[in-house]
Chains A and B, each alone.
Chain A
Amino acid sequence: MSLWVFVARRLLFSALVLLMVSMVVFVVVQVLPGDVASMILGTDATPEDVATMREKLGLNRPAHVRYLEWIAGAVQGDWGTSLRLNQPVAPLIMTRMGNSAVLAGLTLLVAVPLAIGLGVYAGLRRGRLPDRIIALVTLIGTSLPEFVWGNLLIIVFAFWFKWLPPSSLMDPGDPVFAQFKLLILPVATLTMVMLAYTSRMTRTSMIEVLEKNFIRTARLKGIGERQVILRHALPNALLPTITIVAMNIGWLMGSLVVVETVFSFPGLGRMMVFAVSNRDVPMLQMTVLVTAAIYCLANLLADVLYAYMNPRVRY
């Protein structure tokens, strides 16, 4: 199968997954709570208020009609109006998404090479002291939740040493890069949490490759150990990390929500918390749909990249 057929097939599959995701979002947000209008208004709303809200949200029409309208609107760029902010949702999401993308991009840029380096090194020193130390550090990395790491870093770097600001509250007019210092602590927090999983999987994959026959052949034919590792082991060990990094993007999105809350960073994650705690249904369903779409896209890209580099999977 050619690569293009594979890509087309995966694209179609992603579209189906997204359709399913949109249905799940709609069912959970609009159908599960029973009456959305009274959920938004709370228990002490008058029947008139509820009726007005029902009218405003178009709740008097059947659910499948509302779903189709929502999807049709979302595809055409009409993402609805926020209930709390009284603004169109689309530009809000776009600005916040840009901010979050900067945070996520910087994190991947720092965390992925670092994790791969640590994983490869641990795999080569398997069972010995460096391996144990890396295992311990990465275990602690995953075991402390993002909000604990964030607060610890704030105490150390913002309060004790006074090097960095404790929060990343920005002037909305400023571009994200205008104050680089604000980004250091959030990125460091995300990196701590991201490191563990990727480095452990890289280690496992390195160990597996080192036990393969072609490595023994390479050693037996007398080339140096350095060449064996760099030319033969590493390219094969790094292939699975593509998929691992893509899987990690889902984890990273959850982490972003928490880290943005810790540092008051104006990103998509904090907007989602805002939408949930204010019961802002139009904003919530669009934010979640956009995030799921990005996750889906990341997986698609990883699959295509993997298939491109490893023709065996294009079955």
Chain B
Amino acid sequence: MNTASPESTAASAPTPPRMGIVRRTFALFGITGWRGSPDMIVGGIFLLVHITLVLVGALITPYPYTEFHMSDTLKPPSLQYWFGTDHYGRDVFSRVVYGAHGTLLLSAAATALGVGLGVAIGMTVGYKGGRLDEIVMRIMDGLLSFPSLLLAMLIMSSLGPSKINVVIAIMIVFVPRSTRVLRSVTLGLKNLEFVEAAKVRGESTFYVITRELLPNAAGPIVVEVAIRLSFAILLSTSLGFIGIGVQPPEPDWGLMVSEGRQFLQTAPWLMFFPALAISTAVIGANLFGDGVGTRLAYRGGRSDL
């Protein structure tokens, strides 16, 4: 985002000998000098809050997410019910926190599978080229001619609504998109000297792809994962909202917004808190992805997000 920040020169400066664990982790992916990007830090914090919710969610919720409190229906936020209660008297705070478990794990799984397959297919066809590349990419073109939500709906209609099927649908939507990105990254790498050297040494195709190409594509893959994660959250909650994704009584954030709609005028908190959760998660993933992408652009990586 801030491509013109003065830190761009600091990125090429020699790395200090001792780094903290966070910086070392980033350096592993070829991202140094990350301190210059406030976007990435804010995004990272948002993501961390959500990851924490997923991990400790069950410990901090005051009530089970399906527990009815029939004497306390549609109560506004209070000390007893932090985010208010819904029309069954269920605690909205508990449901939003459990929803993090559902929505985010589901989106993360879909992203991991979709981008993972995309990486494997994209790097293989990009490196091998020829007939295989031609055939695979034409199939991907066919899948790409569907708008993503429509393809996801089509797949959901044939598999039926369930959590696992949402993961599968989003995965299928992501594969052609990630394949295309990783294929072009591979095309940029495969004629460099170190790949030639490995080939001359007589290394196998599998070795070249996993040991030579993959580490050098790590940066673009991190960006791809972050961007796809934000799309996965949008897609899965949208499917939940239109009623063909995760089904009640699961506390999916999109589904919660949809259920809260009939009380939009009298109990807007039913819609507000899940919406806030979705938005912060997506903003976090977007900012983080943008930040990493900007960093890579400095280092001569790809700038075509």
Residues of A within 8 A of B (CB): 17-18, 20-21, 23-25, 28-29, 32-33, 39, 126-127, 132, 135, 139-140, 142-148, 151-152, 154-155, 159, 166, 207, 250-251, 253-255, 257-258, 261, 272-273, 275-277, 279, 284, 288, 291-292, 295-296, 299
Contacts and interface: CB of A to CB of B under 8 A. Distances in A.
What DSSP secondary structure best describes chain A's contact surface? Answer: helix
Interface of B: 1-5, 138-139, 141-143, 145-150, 153-160, 230, 234, 237-238, 241-244, 254, 257-258, 261, 264-265, 268, 271, 275, 278-279, 282-283, 286-287
Nearest to B276: A148
Kindly name the residue among A17, A127, A143, A155 whose own CB sees the greatest number of chain B CB atoms within 10 A.
A143
Given A127-B2, A144-B279, A257-B149, 12 more contacts: A17-B141, A18-B145, A24-B142, A127-B5, A143-B230, A143-B286, A155-B268, A253-B147, A257-B150, A261-B241, A288-B150, A295-B145
A151 B157 contact: no
A24 B159 contact: no
Contacts of B148: 250-251, 254
A63 to B, nearest CB: 14
B154 A17 contact: no
B147 A295 contact: yes
A203 to B, nearest CB: 10
19 contacts: A17-B141, A28-B157, A29-B154, A29-B157, A139-B286, A143-B279, A145-B238, A148-B278, A151-B261, A151-B271, A250-B146, A253-B149, A257-B242, A258-B241, A261-B242, A275-B157, A276-B153, A288-B154, A299-B145
A127 B4 contact: yes
Contacts of A28: 154-155, 157-158
Contacts of A132: 2
B234 A145 contact: yes
Contact of A33 (B141, B159, B258): B159
A143 B283 contact: yes
A73 B146 CA distance: 22
Contacts of B254: 145, 147
A166 B286 CA distance: 30
A276 B147 CA distance: 16
Contacts of A17: 141-142, 145
B112 to A, nearest CB: 21
Contact of A291 (B150, B282, B286): B150
Nearest to B230: A143
A258 B238 contact: yes
Contacts of B157: 28-29, 275-276, 279, 284
B77 to A, nearest CB: 16
Contacts of A142: 282, 286
B263 to A, nearest CB: 11
A250 B157 CA distance: 20
A155 B269 CA distance: 11
Contacts of A284: 154, 157
